[in-house]
Structure 1
Amino acid sequence: MTENLPPYQMPGPQGKVQGVAAEKVNKLLSDLNITADIQVMPWARAYKIAVNEPGTLIFSIVRTPAREGLFHWLGVLMSTKTYLISLRKRKDIKVEGLVDLLNYRVGVKRDDVVFQYLQSKGMLDTIVVLPETFVTVKMLLKGRADIIAASPIHLDYMCEKIGCNRSDFRFLFELDELSNDFYLAANRQTSADIILLLQQKLAEQN
C-alpha cells in the first residue's frame, strides 16, 4: 500500500509505481523474487488496510511512538525534514512554536503523520483536513489555508506540477519532533520469516 506522494512514490505508466522511494521497494521485492501488487490510494485508506490486513506492506511511512506497535518496521527508504510553510507574502503569520498554530488554519492530509502529531498536541480545532498533499498546496495558494506542512523536495516537485516556485513560500518552523525517516513497514501479523528476510535485504541495499 502507498499513496501518491511525488517524488517519493506516484503512479506511472502501465500500472507501475515509480518515484525515488518506490524504486527502492521495487528493487527489494525483485531481488527477493517477491511478486507484489503495489496499490496507490489515499493515505487514510492505505494506512487502515496496512494496519488490519496480514501480509500487507506500506510505504513511505514515518515512524512515531503512536505507530510503533502497529507495524513491523522493515527499514528506512529515504530521509527528509518536515516544515510548516506559509506564503511568503503573508507577513502577518508568525510561528515560533506549536501553540502559535491556534491562530491560523493549518491544512493537513487526513491521518498522515502531521495530522496525528497535531492531534496528539490538541490542535484539532485549527486543522483543515484535506484528502491529499497536492490539495494542501492549492488551498494554501488560494488562501483557504494559512499554513501547510511539507518537505523541501516535495514542495519543489509540487511546484513543478502546479506552477509555483519555492520562493513563493516561507519556511516557518521545523517539526523536529517528527521522525525524519520514511520507512517501509509491514502489518503486525506478517510472517516472522518474511519480516526478517525483508529487513536483511533492505539493510544490504542501504
Structure 2
Amino acid sequence: MLVTGLCSFHSLASHKFENISNVSHFQIEVVTELLEPYQIENPDGTLSGFSTEVVHALFKKAQSRANIRVLPWARAYEIARSTPNIMIYSIAHTEVRDPLFHWVGSLKKEKLYFWGLKSKFPDNIDDIEKLKAEKIAASRFSNVAQYLQANNFKNIYELIKEDQNMLMLYRGRVDLIVATELTLKTRAQKLGLDFNKMKKIKEVTELNNDLSIAFSKETKPNVVSHFRQAFDAIKRDGVIEQIKNKWNIQ
C-alpha cells in the first residue's frame, strides 16, 4: 500500500466557501488506485498523475488536508462504499454508481473499448454477442467487471491490479480487456509492451463515462458542499485545464 505524505495546504483563495469554518483545515481520508496516467507512483514512492494533481489543487482551494492511500481498486471501492467521510478518485460515474456516492466533479470524459491482440482478432467484429464466450480480464469491483457480469459474459477473470489485465492479454491467458486508449498506451510504455500489437475491437458505449471525484454516501453534507464549491472554483479559474495540458489529456 502506497501512502502519500500528509499534504497540508494553506489558503490562497479569495473565494469564501459555505460552512468553511466547519470544513477547512480538517484532514480528509482519500483512497485511490494506481492507474496511468491518472495516478502514477514515482520512483521515489510519491504519487503523481493528472487526477492526483487535480486533487491536490482541489484541497488547496478547499483549505483542507488530504491523507491519500493507494490501494487495490476493490479495497478502495469497498472503503468508499462503507465508510463515512471518504473521498475516492478516479472513479467512473456510471448509472449504477450514481446513487451510491456524492459526486464532486468530473475529471475527464472517457470512451472505453474492447481490446485484443491483432494476432487473435484479424477480422473486424461488430456483434458484441460474438465476444461473450471469449476470456476477458477485469479488475474486481471495477465498472468494467460490473458491466460484464450484468451482460452475461461467461469467462471473466477478476484481478486485483490493473496492470495484470494487460499482462494476461499479452501472455495469452485472456483474449480481451476493456480500457481507454490513453490508459493502455501509457501502461504499455510502463510495462515495456508493444502497443502496436493491440487492436481496438469495439466501443463499449454503455461504459463511456465521466471519470470523477466522489465522496462516500454517508459523508456530511457540508463537507460535500464545500468540496463541490472548491471544484467548481478550480474549474472556473482554469486550473483543471492547465493540469490537463501539462499531462496531454484531451
TM-score bracket for the superposition, by shorter chain length: over 0.9
Match of 2:217 in 1: 188
Maintained 8 Å contact 2:104/2:231: yes
CA deviation profile, 1:166-200 (whole Å, cap 9, x unmatched): 21100001111123310100011111111111112
Alignment of 1:34-183 (within 5 A): 34-91=64-121, 95-123=125-153, 125-183=154-212
Alignment of 1:9-20 (within 5 A): 9-12=39-42, 16-20=46-50
Considering fraction of residues, name the structure with more strand: 2
Maintained 8 Å contact 1:21/1:78: no
Which structure has the bigger radius of gyration?
2
- For the residue of structure 1 that corresponds to 2:144, the secondary structure is helix
- For the residue of structure 2 that corresponds to 1:27, the secondary structure is helix
Match of 2:9 in 1: none
Q: 1:31 aligns with which of 51, 61, 67?
A: 61
CA deviation profile, 1:89-132 (whole Å, cap 9, x unmatched): 11367532332222210111111010001111122x22111112
Aligned residues: 205
Q: Residues 178 and 33 from structure 1, CA distance in 2 versus in 1: closer, same or farther, beyond 3 angstroms? A: same
Q: Distance in 1 between matches of 2:57 and 2:210?
A: 19
Match of 1:205 in 2: 234
- For the residue of structure 1 that corresponds to 2:206, the secondary structure is coil
- For the residue of structure 2 that corresponds to 1:96, the secondary structure is coil
Q: Residues 144 and 13 from structure 1, CA distance in 2 versus in 1: closer, same or farther, beyond 3 angstroms? A: closer
Cα RMSD (Å)? 1.6
TM-score (norm 2): 0.77
TM-score (norm 1): 0.93
Larger relative contact order (CA 8 Å, sep ≥ 6): 1
**Runs of at least 5 residues in structure 2 that lack an aligned partner in the other structure:** 1-30, 236-250
